[in-house]
């Protein structure tokens, strides 16, 4: 991720330094970037001179003293709060008072990271999506300590790198990792209830819903261990709200070592002898699957708006540019009708009587006033 962010910045014309304590890691980053740029030349995406220009913009260092002239530091290390706090408090001793200190964390509190600094107002979250050079979205997350000037500078810098910026409140999962939880969680719930199997759910979401990947394909691609850990982290961070409750199915698959593509086995078998099961292409079942997952996604997006996590436009941009959803969820709600959204959520709640299926107050309020989302 760090070298990917460096590539983005260097391509935009910035002078960049990549820091790591290990020479081996720096060599790996340099060789990896060379391979990526060489492939881009071969595909005629960039010229050989452009490749040389980008490489010439990047330096590789293993001493923090070389950071004294930088204007922005973006940390991209392990997702561990104690480690990040230690790194930030150390870095602050070597940079200028004007330097912005940013974290690429996808789930940790920016306020907690900022608290390790003598000047916490300079700290902000700048969350890229993987792979950074290809994904358009960047979530910019100010902490409660972050100065408004720092937020504006960070947004301007990231926009100058030709990225789409979504400003998000410093809450668990920010926008994307919060709003996307039902794509996985509700798919697992549908499977556990015996309504449809993995292949059928994936088929429905792709062929009928228009998503690029089905939930189980995507979890296998991400890694069941990683996806489960994020789900568990969000569940705990939201004080065990049942809406984010993890699945025993996913827990057992992770415990069994069925991690997805990287282990050769996940919800599907990726070994040479493995074959993908056939989906049940019953359109009634498929429609039921799509509508249930979609309304839970819409409800989550509406709740993010209700709690002022981000603007309606930023929420829709986050889901289309960050995870390639076919439509912005709030625009989708307008298209389907707010009345339809409220009705579907109430049907789920009336059947299950679980708080998991509570309708967002914003949807109910908008329904009573015949309003639509402004996106």
7-60 pLDDT, tens per residue? 999 999 999 999 999 999 999 999 999 999 999 999 999 999 999 999 999 999
Residues 114 and 57 in one domain: no
Q: What is the pTM of this model?
A: 0.92
Residue 186 CA, distance from chain mean position: 18
Catalytic option among 109, 116, 177, 224: 177
127 is catalytic: yes
Same domain as 19, residue 161: no
Active-site hit among 109, 127, 300, 334: 127
Q: What phi and psi, each to the nearest 5 degrees, are found at residue 24?
A: -60, -40
210 shares its domain with 75? no
Given this model, what pLDDT does residue 273 score? 86
DSSP state of 107: S
User: Are residue 209 and residue 332 in the same domain, yes or no?
Assistant: yes
252 and 307 part of one domain: yes
Using one digit for the tens of pLDDT, what is the confidence trace for 236-279?
999 999 999 999 999 999 999 999 999 999 999 999 888 889 99
As a whole number of angstroms, the distance between CA 210 and CA 219 comes to: 17
Under DSSP, is residue 165 helix (H, G, I), strand (E, B) or coil? strand
- Do 342 and 283 share a structural domain? yes
Q: Single out the residue in 115, 150, 170 at which a domain terminates.
A: 170
Phi, psi of 76 (to 5 degrees): -140, 70
**Closest alpha carbon to 352 in 285, 287, 283, 296:** 296
Residues 78 and 49 in one domain: no
- Answer yes or no: do 134 and 156 share one domain: yes
Domain holding 4, by residue range, is: 1-62
Give the CATH number of the domain where residue 97 resides: 3.40.50.720
Q: Please identify, among 139, 170, 201, the residue that sits at the C-terminal boundary of a domain.
A: 170
Mean pLDDT of the chain: 96
Q: Within this chain, do residues 53 and 72 fall inside the same structural domain, yes or no? A: no
Residue tagged active-site, from 3, 103, 106, 299? 106
**Do 56 and 72 fall within a single domain?**
no
* Domain end position, chosen among 150, 170, 190: 170
pLDDT digits (tens, 9 = 90+) for 278-294: 999 999 999 999 999 99
Span 76-90, average pLDDT: 95
Alpha carbons 187 and 197: distance in angstroms, whole number = 9
**Cβ-Cβ contacts under 8 Å for 119 (sequence gap 6 or more):** 92, 97
Active site residue 106: yes
For residue 194, what are the contacts with CB-CB under 8 A and spacing of at least 6? none
The question of whether 139 is a catalytic residue gets the answer yes
If asked whether residues 85 and 206 sit together in one domain, one would say no
User: Using one digit for the tens of pLDDT, what is the confidence trace for 110-147?
Assistant: 999 999 999 999 999 999 998 999 999 999 999 999 99
For residue 79, the model assigns a pLDDT of 87
The domain total for the chain is: 3
* Catalytic-role residue among 75, 92, 139, 186: 139
- Report whether 137 contacts 176 (CB < 8 A): yes
**Shared-domain flag, residues 152 and 29:** no
């Amino acid at each position: 991720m760090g070298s990917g962010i460096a590539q983005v910045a260097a391509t935009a014309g910035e002078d960049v330094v990549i820091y790591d304590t290990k020479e081996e890691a720096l060599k790996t980053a340099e060789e990896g970037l060379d391979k990526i740029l060489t492939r881009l030349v071969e595909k005629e995406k960039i010229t050989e001179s452009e490749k040389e220009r980008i490489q010439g913009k990047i330096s590789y260092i293993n001493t923090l003293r070389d950071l004294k002239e930088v204007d922005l530091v973006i940390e991209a290390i392990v997702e561990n709060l104690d480690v990040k706090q230690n790194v930030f408090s150390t870095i602050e001793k070597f940079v200028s008072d004007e330097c912005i200190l940013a974290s690429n964390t996808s789930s940790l509190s920016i306020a907690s990271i900022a608290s390790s600094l003598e000047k916490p107002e300079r700290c902000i979250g700048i969350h890229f999506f993987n792979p950074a050079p290809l994904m358009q979205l960047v979530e910019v997350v100010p902490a409660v300590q972050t100065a408004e000037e720092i937020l504006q500078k960070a947004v301007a810098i990231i926009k100058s790198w030709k990225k789409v910026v979504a400003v998000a409140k410093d809450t668990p999962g920010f926008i994307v990792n919060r709003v996307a939880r039902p794509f996985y969680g509700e798919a697992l719930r549908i499977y556990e209830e015996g309504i449809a199997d993995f292949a059928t759910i994936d088929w429905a979401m792709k062929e009928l819903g228009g998503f690029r990947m089905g939930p189980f394909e995507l979890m296998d691609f991400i890694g069941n261990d990683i996806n489960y850990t994020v789900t568990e982290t969000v569940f705990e961070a939201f004080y065990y709200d049942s809406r984010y409750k993890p699945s025993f199915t996913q827990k057992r698959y992770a415990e069994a070592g069925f991690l997805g593509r990287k282990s050769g086995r996940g919800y599907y078998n990726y070994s040479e002898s493995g074959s993908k099961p056939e989906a049940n292409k019953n359109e009634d079942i498929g429609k039921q699957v799509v509508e249930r997952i979609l309304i839970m996604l819409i409800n989550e997006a509406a709740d993010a708006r209700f709690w002022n996590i981000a603007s309606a436009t930023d929420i829709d941009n986050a889901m289309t540019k960050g995870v390639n959803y076919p439509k912005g969820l709030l625009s989708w709600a307008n298209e389907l009708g707010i009345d339809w959204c409220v009705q579907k959520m109430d049907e789920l709640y009336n059947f299950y009587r679980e708080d998991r299926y509570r309708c967002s107050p914003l949807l109910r309020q908008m329904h009573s006033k015949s309003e639509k989302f402004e996106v």
